Structure 1
Amino acid sequence: MELIVLFGVFLVLMLVGMPIAFALGISSVSFLLMADISLTIVPQRMFAGINSFVLLCIPGFVLAGNLMNAGNITEQIIRFSNALVGHIRGGLGLANVAGSMIFGGVSGTAVADTASIGSVMIPGMARSGYDKPFSAAVTAASSTVGPIIPPSLPMIICGSLASVSVGRMFIAGAVPGLLLGLAMMVTTYILAVKRGYPKEKRATLGQILSEGRSAFWALLMTFIILYGIIGGFFTATEASIVASVYALIVGMFIYKGLTWRQLPAIFADTALTTAALMLLVGMANLFGWILTTQQIPAIIAETILGISDNPIVVILIINLLLLFVGMFMETIAALIILFPTLLGVATGIGMDPIHFAVMMVLNLMVGLSTPPVGVCLFVASSIGNLPMLKVARAIVPFLVCNLIVLLLVAYIPAISLWLPNLIMGQ
C-alpha cells in the first residue's frame, strides 16, 4: 500500500506540472507517513545525497557557463560556426549544430544551450528562409550534445555515483558527443537539400581566421579544463573554479561583454540554479533510499535478468527503460534513482562502468528533446513562439538520428572507452 502511495502521488504531481524536486519530496514524505517512519530521515538522506566533494563542481561550472553567456560568447561561437559551414546548403542549420557542439564545451547543460543558441538562431534562421518548426527542432535536438561533450554536469553526477574519475568520464564523452553532432549535421544537410533551404555566401580564409580568433578563447576553456584534469594539475572540482576565473577574465577583458554591474545578478542566478540542482539531488537521494529499502532495485535487476541474460538483449531492455523514463523525468533525478541499480545489472553482463555511464547519459539526453515533456522542446517552442506539437513533429528525423547513435554507443564500447584508455591508460 505504501508503495502505491509513493508512486501514485509522484505520478499525479508530475502530471499536474509539479517541479520534479517537489514531486519526489512530497511523494517520499507521503510514503514515510504511511509507513510510520520518522521524518528525521528526510534531512539525513538529503544531506547524504549532497555531501560529496565531487558535487562542488556543479556551482563552479554553472558560474563559468553564466559568465561566458554574459560575455558575448554565444554570438562569437555562432559567427565562427557560420564562417565554417554557412556556405553549405542549409548552412545556418549546420552552424546551429556546430555552435551547440562548441557551446557544449562551455556550459555543459542542454537547457542553457537551447536558450542561448536558440534565442539567436531560431529568429535568424526564420528570417533567412527556414521554416520555424525546423529551426526550433534543430536547436532543441543539437542542444543534447552539450552534456555529452565535456564539461558535463550529468557526467559529474555519474562519476560521484560510480566512484570513478570525473576526468575519465569527461574524456569518455568526447567521441560520442562528436559522433552525435556529426550525425545531426548529416541529418540537417539531407533535410536542407530535400526542402531547398538556402545557403550563405562562402567565407574567405581571412574571415574564417578572424572568426576563429574570436572563438579561440571559448575553445581554449575546454582545453584548459581537460588538460588540467588529465595532467594532474587540478581535480575536477578545482577545474570548475579555474574555469570560472578564466570565464570572468575572458568575458570582461577580452570579449568585453561582461561588466562589474552584471556580476551580482550572475552570482544570484548561479546560486539559485545550484540550490535548485542540490535540492533535486537531495530529494532524489531520499526517493532512491526508499526504493532501496523496499528492494525495488533488486526487483528491477531480477526482472531484467529474468527476461534474458544475453548482453545484447539486456542492453536493449535497459535502453528502452531509460528512453521511457527520459521522456518524463529530469536527467539528474533519473540518474540518482536508476544509475546505481542499472549499473549493477550492466556490470553483471560485463559492461564497463564508464561505458554504461556514457550510454545512460546519452540516452537521457535524447529524452530532453522527446515528447511529451522534453524540456528542450518546451524552451525551443517558447523561443520560436510555436505550438509544441509542430516542433515535436519537426524533431522526429533528429530523434531517429540520435537513436542510431545511441545504439552504436551502446553496442560498441570502444566509442566511449578508446580515448580515455589511450590518454589515461586502462
Structure 2
Amino acid sequence: MIDSIFKDPVFWTLALFIVPLIARIPIAVSLGMATISVVWFWDMGYQMLSYSFYAGIAKVPLLAIPFFILAGIIMEKVGIAARIVKLIKELVGDVTGGLAIATVIVAAFWGAVSGSGPATVAALGLILIPSMAQAGYDKAFATAVVSVASGLAIIIPPSISFIVYGDIMEQSVGTLFAAGIVPGVIVAGFLCLAVYLYSRLRGFRGEPRESLGALLRAFFDAFWGLLTPVIILGGIYGGVFTPTEAAAVAVFYGLFVGLVVYRTLTLRVLYEILSETVVSTAVVMLVVACAGLYSWLGATVGIIDKIAGLLLGVSDNPTVILLMINVILLFAGMLLDANSIMYIFLPILIPIIRTLGWDPIWFGVMMTINLAIGQVTPPVAVNLFVGARISGLTMEQIARPAIGLIAAAIAALALLTAFPILTTFLPRLMGLM
C-alpha cells in the first residue's frame, strides 16, 4: 500500500509542492520545481513545459496586470495618495473613530487605483499610520486598520485577482469589475462599523477641522486624484475602452497629473517608479506562469478530478459544500497569495461550480473576498507583514487588534455568500449578465 503511494505521481505532485512551501521556499519556485520534477520523472513531455510557461502568461487580459501595478505606483509617487488622505482627514475632523473610518474609505478608494493589497498598505501606511498615532490612536490598531482595509484593493475594481479569475474561468473581466463594486462597499461598511465600535470603546478621535477654506483647498488639491477611478471605471462601462486599455489609460493619466498638474514627476522619481514596477510585475507574473504549469500537471495526473469527487461525495447539499469550500479557501489564504490560489484551486472547483449550477461571477467575487481576508490572516498574512515593516511593530502586536476587523470581514463574506443577488444585481442592471 505504502509502496504504491510512493509510486503515484499524485503523491509527489502534492509532496514536492507542500514540503518546499513549509521550508519557506518561494511559492513560484515550489510550484515550478514540483511540476518539472514530476513531468521529468514520469516522462509526461517535458518538451512542452517551455511552451506552456509562455502560453500561460501570453494573454491579452493579463497585460492589464503590469499596467495597473505601474499606475498604482505612479499615483503613489506623484503625491495623489497623500492629497486624498489630507482631504479625508479634513472631512472627518475629530469625529469618534473618524480617522480610522477614513482609513477604510481611503483604502477602498485606493483599491480602485492599485488593485493590489500589499501595494495599498505600502502606499497608505507611510501616511496614515503616523497620522493616526499622532492623533492618539493606538499604533497597533492603526496598523491593523490599514492592513485589513487594504484587502479591499482586490475586491474594489479594478482588481488584479478579478483579471486572473476572468482569464482562468473565461469570464468577462468587465462584468467581474461591476460585480465587485457592491460587495466591496458592503465589506467596507462592516469594517467601518468595527473600527467605530473599537474607537468608541477606546476613546479614539481625530484632529479638529482647520476651517472651511482648508477643506476646499484640500478638495481642489485632491481633485485630479479623485477623478482616477471615474476615468477608469467610467471608460470601461461607457464602452470607451476595455479593462486592459483602461489600465494603460490609467498609466498615462497618472503621468500627466505628476508631470503637468502636480509637477512632482522627476527623472529620479520616474526611475523609482519603473524599478518598483518591474520587480512587482516579475513576482506576480512568475507566480502566474508557474501556477499555471502546476494547474496543468494537477489535471494531467488526476488530482483535480479526485479532489472534486471527494468534495461532492461528502454531501449532496450545496450549502454544506459551499461552507466547506469557504473554509478551505480561508485556510489556503493563510498560506498562499490570491493569484496562486486561483490557479491551484479553480481547476478543482470548476466541475463543482458547473455541477451545482452556481453563477461563476458571484462565485468569483465570493472567492476573491475570501482571499482578501486570507491576506491579513496569519501565519503568512502578507498585508500584516508589510504593515509590520512600515510601523516597526511585530506581527503579534498587530494581529491582536486585527481579530475584530477580520471577524467583521468574515461576517460580510457570510452575508454575500448567503445572498448572491447582492453581487449580481448591479451587472444585471447594467446589462452585463
Q: What range is the shorter-chain TM-score in?
A: over 0.9
Task: Note closer, same or farther for the CA distance 1:162–1:37 as it changes in structure 2 (3 Å cut).
Answer: closer
Residue 119 of structure 2 is aligned to residue 105 of structure 1: no
Find the partner of 2:404 among 358, 379, 397.
Answer: 397
Partner of 1:350 in structure 2? 357
Partner of 1:363 in structure 2? 370
Give the distance between the partners of 2:319 and 2:220, measured in 1 at CA.
46
Partner of 2:334 in structure 1? 327
Give the distance between the partners of 1:47 and 1:185, measured in 2 at CA.
43
For 1:52-63, list aligned pairs within 5 A: 52-63=59-70
Partner of 1:152 in structure 2? 159
Give the distance between the partners of 2:206 and 2:252, measured in 1 at CA.
38
1:121, CA displacement in angstroms? 1.6
Letter in 1 for 2:68: F
For 1:158-212, what per-residue CA distance to the aligned partner results, in whole angstroms no more than 9, with x for missing partners?
A: 1111212111111111111111111111100100011111332146444333322
Task: Note closer, same or farther for the CA distance 1:95–1:344 as it changes in structure 2 (3 Å cut).
Answer: same
Task: Note closer, same or farther for the CA distance 1:253–1:301 as it changes in structure 2 (3 Å cut).
Answer: same
1:294, CA displacement in angstroms? 1.6
Partner of 1:140 in structure 2? 147
Give the distance between the partners of 2:45 and 2:319, measured in 1 at CA.
43
Moved more, 343-352 or 353-362: 343-352
For 1:337-360, what per-residue CA distance to the aligned partner results, in whole angstroms no more than 9, with x for missing partners?
A: 212331331232222111000011
Answer yes or no: is the 8 Å Cα contact 1:140–1:380 preserved in 2. yes
Answer yes or no: is the 8 Å Cα contact 1:77–1:103 preserved in 2. no
Find the partner of 2:222 among 215, 231, 254.
Answer: 215
SS state of the match for residue 46, structure 2? coil
Task: Note closer, same or farther for the CA distance 1:402–1:383 as it changes in structure 2 (3 Å cut).
Answer: same
For 1:67-119, what per-residue CA distance to the aligned partner results, in whole angstroms no more than 9, with x for missing partners?
A: 11111011112112212223211222122111101111111110011111111
Task: Note closer, same or farther for the CA distance 1:127–1:200 as it changes in structure 2 (3 Å cut).
Answer: closer
State the superposition RMSD in angstroms.
1.6
Answer yes or no: is the 8 Å Cα contact 1:86–1:95 preserved in 2. no
Partner of 1:249 in structure 2? 256
Partner of 1:379 in structure 2? 386
For 1:125-148, what per-residue CA distance to the aligned partner results, in whole angstroms no more than 9, with x for missing partners?
A: 222222221111111100001111
Find the partner of 1:270 among 260, 274, 277.
Answer: 277
The sequence identity of aligned pairs, in percent, is: 38
Answer yes or no: is the 8 Å Cα contact 2:120–2:153 preserved in 1. yes
SS state of the match for residue 318, structure 1? helix
Find the partner of 1:175 among 173, 177, 182.
Answer: 182
* TM norm structure 2: 0.94
1:298, CA displacement in angstroms? 1.4
Partner of 1:39 in structure 2? 46
Letter in 1 for 2:269: Q
Answer yes or no: is the 8 Å Cα contact 2:135–2:207 preserved in 1. no
* TM norm structure 1: 0.96
Answer yes or no: is the 8 Å Cα contact 1:104–1:146 preserved in 2. yes
Give the distance between the partners of 1:270 and 1:203, measured in 2 at CA.
37
Find the partner of 1:161 among 143, 162, 168.
Answer: 168
Gaps spanning 5+ residues in structure 2: where? 1-5
Partner of 2:234 in structure 1? 227
1:253, CA displacement in angstroms? 1.6
Give the distance between the partners of 1:86 and 1:39, measured in 2 at CA.
62
Partner of 1:238 in structure 2? 245
For 1:126-137, list aligned pairs within 5 A: 126-137=133-144
Give the distance between the partners of 2:428 and 2:416, measured in 1 at CA.
16
Answer yes or no: is the 8 Å Cα contact 1:87–1:203 preserved in 2. no
Partner of 1:410 in structure 2? 417
Gaps spanning 5+ residues in structure 1: where? none
1:44, CA displacement in angstroms? 2.1
Task: Note closer, same or farther for the CA distance 1:123–1:16 as it changes in structure 2 (3 Å cut).
Answer: farther
Partner of 2:26 in structure 1? 19
Partner of 1:301 in structure 2? 308
Aligned length: 426
Give the distance between the partners of 2:222 and 2:390, measured in 1 at CA.
25
